[in-house]
Structure 1
């Protein structure tokens, strides 16, 4: 239901058009008001009207000057929508009059009669939503005006003047307060040449150099200099300004404030003269200034470090969002490729060459799936099974694999603490991270060396930029290899950055581990010295669960449950035609009857009107209505309907109260059958 404070006007005096329009608007949740003449319509127009519905024939011969004048005098935020009902469409080929109406009305939509009620309601709702955005703009413009008044009040209270200097034209715009600081009365002419002329000759070159430095290097303009007023008196001013850039990032002007600091400078000078006669006070003042300077420098250094960390975090977040989106779309493509290859292999069992080619294509697709998992890990969108982990057991179980991966020329050593608490993580992903770190260490030692795998627990009493305060289990891998310089270390976790030769790595290993650590609320901390080796520490939070009997199963314990051998009627929903086709083929190959829908709205219509379904399988990311919204509405139509959501992302959005099973993309036919069996078993239980 829309806000009833903003009604729509209906001007359709002929026949039942007004009654029909009002009825349809009411159905759309929009309040309406009918008028009988053009003049009454103009009188009814105000800034709170949502939009106007008119019939073309009533405007064809009417005097529209008053209406055109009202439209032309709208405020900047307003562009009142008009919906014109016509028998000849809105194109100039069939309806030359439409061009005249478009020029007069401006924001106009044509609906050709006869029209479907849904079309009218859809256009009306769109016009209403557009008008609501205009109302929001009105509020924001008002708030901006208030902010401008507050700013002027603050500047006046602080006796600060404002100034703007156009860089290209050197046109200077100043407030009256700023003019008074340079000795000129309010309203007087005061351009950039006047400002330069007022600067003391001994300070003018320094002032111009500071302006030039700001224009060329983007530095903050901050300067104090003397000015000579028209009456010959000497004063001090302080100017602080910054560059203002347009949307293309090009500096177009300097914007800043000015202040009269004559009294402060005179007081400082008096103090200086007094201190010159008092040697002891000079020494004390020097010590105070030195202490203040050290404090400021420490604050500056801390601020610069914080800003650098913030820039790095923002950069990694932006890259993560882009990477996650690419990986999700790539997952969809792999879904279609792997599903079709799997089905194709079943239909060509006797053709050895075809089977070999299909097998090669499937291996390539699986490598692509592995790549997307690393991308999703970096973007912190992978699906994690977080449980308590005995890290000592995890490292012990990987001993043979790590030795084979390191090779005969590498010595593996351990520094393992005793009595370690359980960590909170995903054993599969942590094993993959450990293997990646050992392989990276091996590749950094071409002539052999030592890799030390360490385990310890640690406690952080205070939060750091990388980690929150708390207890952690630290898994470390240290090598005696070539190490990295400072610049290489900064880029080590960037995706696709690699120091290995072409074809020897994807550049995703450390970025994957970094994403995993952040997803576990931990951190990956790298330390390296060129020529002396590298240490990588994976900080994992200690598990807060009762670890008795809850050690996460190591890889290899795969649930082999298959879908029960019975005929199911399944509704398959996916907006991607390739994925929908592949999934339908896999389901039908399993012996099920499948009905396909390409949107959430179409799926709801099928659920409401066709025979009952045993299962709903839907994609999550769909335009208009995603899988979560579809699931909620489907359960309203069919309570307890078993639902399986397929998605390439790790988590469903917050607020999902429904108990829904998630199927990760890309999936095989066996995985699909297994998840169907699980969701049906859960619904029966």
Structure 2
């Protein structure tokens, strides 16, 4: 076979047809849903081409003339086969108009059957067809069946790649629609300010935050004019600072509506550049924070009144009763602690919900990337790009774990653990992390009792503390890590109440660094608070450790003074439980039986990714997008394992598990979730897998569940 010309006008020559058509395999493993159009009204060309197309595993439709040919073409057509004489003799303007209006992903392939020496480089008519039809391959007659099937397969594969591009475009469009839905649901307005043209683009929600209707204009000058005069100066300074330095723009200010109404808005934006570093834009979101600001003002006023009354009452009591002054002081501290707890709990609920939803998105990204790497041959550059995407998604997953730890909602794997062995095993990692300028000292007794911890999270917490200590000692110093057993007795009046009485293992991390003053120390565990420069810390490290310690029924204690270093202590409870059994061996996972698995998830992206991973492991998979549909399937099918998401509308995963066990009491069930807690009214214990999970984790959990007794 010889090929000449460009992609838009190839000429393929072969041997004459002889004997029966050569049978061929389908071009891909995908089910046949499209068709091949044939236009060969003269001679035996139509019959031969139809037989060969069908031998290639494709459906063929023969058209009598150009009108019928044009009417049959649609976006699902694989490719078209036509004789040169049928096209040259026809009015191709309607067909040319159709091809010119194809979607961006589509470039319909044509195979044109020519007479000998009738290619585009020899015949003006063929060259004209190449120009009019675009994606054309010329096949000279007579041809060999193998040549024709090869050309058909090439055209089919090219069309399938176009279909894949269409699917990716649809996914991107769906993602954009979800983003817009999220913005509308959260009453967040989007805005974009082009610094080169001075044009401000805003969404309808954003316009409403400035008292404008959706059909009204809102220029940058209008926005500036709507800022309250008392806030205009600092707002414009913040804009200029972001433009000059490139730092993120975040500010709250009052805006005056056209009807005189005064509202508070919060604007958060960042500088965005094109690939060449030009065309600077400020892109961000706006939200109405009037209710919060009013509540803060009201609270501030109430606090002032309360403080005034407390001061008056304190003066009266000072004159007569000093163990009373102490009681009032304790009450004030308790009230302040209560306000902080309420504030952190509110932020934690919001953070936990956002992290849970983000975990679902990362689940789809990581799962699809893992399958893509296994199933598609990648050149070195593409492999690096896939690895980069996987690493980015894994960093996102690690960040969500920090968020969930702060919100005390991450799914912990709490088991009895020898904390001494764990810390010793981190010695080399800690030495590399702190560097050669810092002396690392470790004091670990040999007879420590086991503690109830999540080993991975404790390792992450210790590494965070070590890195914080390193950053606090830029000129070198000493980092001491020690473990000891501590017994906490009954609380006495006036003592700290952050930890319950009992036996604990205490992990102490002490540095000789810069230390913190009292004000900084008080804020150290607040979310997103950081003393590091922008880009060198998320402000979630200590808040994550605090959330982890509380979730483990322990505590995080910090003490520090400027110039005298910092002491961080993680207290975790002791247990008499034995160490857990060894994990399943790799051979046990690989030898696990192939099963019929029912996957239930209301998120189509998550469901698709999980199904692909399970089928790649050799399991037979049935999909359901709701609890009701899953129960119907369980009634009518033999299911070996149920894998269900927890957070679903109408019927959550735990409720589905209860109903499923009524149908099949012995059914193994695996619950997928990013949360640690189940509702208090669900009386069922289920093995769980935390999102986002990878294929290897999924295989391990399936092997464990199928071999374990039903709970």
TM class by shorter chain equals 0.5 to 0.7
Q: CA deviation at 1:440?
A: 0.7
Asked if 1:488 corresponds to 2:520, the answer is yes
Structure 2 match to 1:442: 470
Residues 317 and 324 in structure 2, CA contact (< 8 A), matched pair in contact too: no
Q: 1:394 to 1:595 in 2, by over 3 A?
A: closer
Conserved 8 A contact 2:672-2:691: yes
Q: Aligned equivalents of 1:431 and 1:246: distance in 2?
A: 38
Q: CA deviation at 1:434?
A: 1.5
The alignment of Structure 1 onto Structure 2 pairs a total of residues equal to 402
Q: CA deviation at 1:428?
A: 2.4
What are the Cα deviations for residues 576-618 of structure 1, in whole angstroms up to 9, with x where unaligned?
111111112222222333221111111112222x332222111
Match of 1:521 in 2: 553
Residue number among 424, 432, 441 corresponding to 2:460 in the alignment: 432
Three-state SS of the structure 1 residue aligned to 2:571 is strand
Matches within 5 A, 1:262-661: 292-416=320-444, 419-463=447-491, 464-543=496-575, 545-546=576-577, 550=579, 561-562=588-589, 564=591, 566-608=593-635, 610-661=636-687
Q: Distance in 2 between matches of 1:497 and 1:488?
A: 9
Cross-structure match for 1:184 = none
**SS of alignment partner, residue 589 of structure 2:** coil
Which has the higher Rg, Structure 1 or Structure 2? 1
Q: Cα distance, 1:342 vs. partner?
A: 1.0
For residue 604 of structure 1, give the secondary structure of its aligned residue in structure 2: helix
Structure 1 residues 588 and 532, CA gap change in structure 2 (3 angstroms): same
Distance 1:458 1:611 in 2: 56
Partner SS state of residue 566, structure 2: strand
Question: CA deviation digits over 1:609-631, x for unaligned, max 9?
Answer: x3322221111100100001111
Distance 1:644 1:310, change over 3 A: same
Secondary structure at 1:488's aligned position in 2? helix
CA deviation digits over 1:369-411, x for unaligned, max 9? 1111111222222222333333333322222222221111001
Distance 1:300 1:558 in 2: 60
Q: What SS is found at the alignment partner of 1:294?
A: coil
Q: 1:560 to 1:532 in 2, by over 3 A?
A: farther
Contact 1:563-1:675 at 8 Å conserved across structures? no
- Secondary structure of the 1:539 match is strand
Once the two structures are superposed, what CA deviation does each residue of 1:177-210 show, in whole Å capped at 9, x if it has no partner?
xxxxxxxxxxxxxxxxxxxxxxxxxxxxxxxxxx
Mapped partners of 2:413, 2:345: distance in 1: 23
Q: String of CA shifts for 1:535-582, please: whole Å, max 9, x gaps.
A: 111112222x155xx2898xx997664254654322211011111111
Tell me the residue number matched to 1:280: none
| Alignment TM-score, normalising by the size of structure 1 | 0.55
Partner Cα separation in structure 2 for residue 651 and residue 246 of structure 1: 29
Q: Kindly state the Cα deviation for residue 341 of structure 1 after the two structures are TM-superposed.
A: 0.8
Query: Structure 1 residue 350: deviation in Å?
Result: 4.0
Give the CA deviation at 1:246. 12
| Equivalent pair of 2:598/2:642 in contact (CA under 8 Å) | yes
Distance 1:390 1:606, change over 3 A: closer
Q: Deviations over 1:159-191 (max 9, x none)?
A: xxxxxxxxxxxxxxxxxxxxxxxxxxxxxxxxx
CA separation of 1:381 and 1:246: change in aligned 2, threshold 3 A = closer
Q: 1:572 to 1:336 in 2, by over 3 A?
A: same
Q: Matches of 2:531 and 2:452 in 1, distance apart?
A: 32
Which runs of no fewer than 5 residues in structure 1 stay unpaired?
Answer: 1-244, 256-287
Structure 1 residue 445: Cα displacement: 0.5
Query: What pairs up with 1:210-221 in 2 under 5 angstroms?
Result: none
SS of residue paired to 2:485: strand
Q: 1: CA distance between counterparts of 2:337 and 2:347? A: 15
- CA distance change for structure 1 residues 247 and 375 in 2, over 3 Å: closer, same or farther? closer
Aligned to 2:9: none
Deviation of 1:640 after TM superposition, in Å, equals 0.9
Paired residues of 1:563 and 1:676 also in contact (CA < 8 A): no
Taking the aligned partners of 1:521 and 1:338, their CA distance within structure 2 comes to 32
Classify the secondary structure of the residue corresponding to 2:534.
coil
Q: Secondary structure at the match of 2:504?
A: strand
CA-to-aligned-CA distance 1:212-266 (integer Å, 9 cap, x gap)? xxxxxxxxxxxxxxxxxxxxxxxxxxxxxxxxx99954769x99xxxxxxxxxxx
The C-alpha deviation readout for 1:502-548, integer Å capped at 9, x for no partner, is: 222222211111111101111101111122211111112222x155x
In the alignment, structure 1 residue 662 sits paired with structure 2 residue 688: yes
